[in-house]
Amino acid sequence: MASPGYSDAINHAFAFAAKHHDRQVRKGTKLPYLTHPANVALILSHYDRDEKTIVAGILHDVVEDCLRDGYTREMLEQRIGDKFGPDVLATVLCVTHRRVDDKGVELSSDDRKQDYLERIETANESARWVCAADKVHNANSILADLGRTLDPDSVWSRFIGGRPATTKWYRDVLTCLEDAGFKEPIMDELRTVVGALEDRTQG
């Protein structure tokens, strides 16, 4: 499977993500938020993923993080589906943390994580690729930030539950993907970065 060179769909996905992530920055940094979906797209392209998976990687946080400026979740879902198709939308929704369950009951932070893992267990392959690429970039970003500071707590404090909860979350996602039978090459990279994150936690 060869990843695309120039792609009009990927170009439009970046424009769409740039619009909706406008003024957002990465947690605890001054980096534009768009650097994250851009890196997810690069990782997916490195592993020769198809166009729809790369587009979903670019858009994967839009529904979760961009409920502002008059946009509701339903509006964002419809816009993504209309512009990029039902397959891309389905993948995006698989990797979107939900605030309420199917019955409309609000989920706690821990419940949202469990709900995410349960949906990854039954997700399509594209969603599992996006999940893995997302976690590879996020975990590597944490490691890079830890390497640049003399105060590790300034990094860990960005995340609910600090070091223990953050490291457990990445291990839980890795285990979920393994248990689901996801054996693609990116899993070696994910295992390495999760292990490195755990080593930094113990240190």
Q: CA 86, CA 111: separation in Å to the nearest integer?
A: 27
Whether residue 1 lies inside any domain: the answer is no
Whether residue 3 lies inside any domain: the answer is no
Whether residue 2 lies inside any domain: the answer is no
Whether residue 28 lies inside any domain: the answer is yes
The per-residue b/e assignment along 87-99, b for 16 or more CB within 10 angstroms, e otherwise, is bbbbbbbbbbebe
67: nearest Cα among 99, 92, 43: 99
Whether residue 124 lies inside any domain: the answer is yes
Q: Which two tokens stand for residue 121?
A: 């267990």
- CATH number at 40 reads 1.10.3210.10
For the entire predicted model, the pTM comes to 0.91
Q: How many domains does the chain have?
A: 1
Whether residue 27 lies inside any domain: the answer is yes
Identify the bridge partners of residue 32 per DSSP, sorted by sequence position: 25
Which structural domain, as residue segments, surrounds residue 191? 8-202
Q: CA 81, CA 155: separation in Å to the nearest integer?
A: 36
Per-residue pLDDT 10s for the chain (203 aa) are 555 567 899 999 999 998 888 777 767 667 788 899 999 999 999 999 999 999 999 999 888 765 556 667 788 899 999 999 999 999 999 999 888 877 778 888 899 999 999 999 999 999 999 999 999 999 999 999 999 889 999 999 988 889 999 999 999 999 999 999 999 999 999 999 999 999 986 54
Whether residue 192 lies inside any domain: the answer is yes
Whether residue 141 lies inside any domain: the answer is yes
